[in-house]
A = this chain, B = another copy of it.
Amino acid sequence: MILVVTLNPALDVTHHVAGAEWAGVNRPHEVAVRPGGKGVNVARTLRALDTEVLITGLAGGPAGDAIAAGLAAAGLAADFTATAGETRRTFAVVDTRRGQTGLFNEPGPLVSATEYEHFRARYRSALAGSAAVVLSGSLPPGVPAAAYAELAQLAGAAGVPTVLDADGPALMLGATGGPAIVKPNLEELERAVGRPLRRPGCTDPDPDAVVRAAGELITAGAGAVVVSLGPAGLLAVTSEGIWQAAPPGPAPGNPTGAGDAAVAGLAHSLMHGHGWPDRLRHATALGTAAVAEPVAGEVSPGRYRELLAGISVARRGT
Contact = CB atoms under 8 A, between A and B. Distances in A.
A20 interface: yes
A86 interface: yes
B100 A26 contact: no
A44 interface: no
A106 B66 contact: no
A23 B91 contact: no
Interface stretch (A57-65, A188-196, A201-209, A297-305): A57-65
Interface string A85-104: 01001010101001011111
B23 A101 contact: yes
Contacts of A101: 23
A180 interface: no
A25 interface: yes
Interface string A144-179: 000000000000000000000000000000000000
Contacts of A15: 91, 104, 106
Contact of A25 (B24, B61, B93, B103): B103
A207 to B, nearest CB: 27
A83 to B, nearest CB: 15
Contacts of A28: 104-106
A201 to B, nearest CB: 22
Contacts of A93: 22, 93, 102, 104
Interface string A12-31: 01010100111111111001
A116 B17 CA distance: 29
A23 B103 CA distance: 8
Contact of A104 (B17, B61, B86, B105): B17
Given A25-B105, A26-B102, A91-B91, 5 more contacts: A22-B22, A22-B95, A28-B104, A31-B106, A61-B66
Interface of A: 11, 13, 15, 17, 20-28, 31, 33, 61-63, 65-66, 69, 86, 89, 91, 93, 95, 98, 100-107
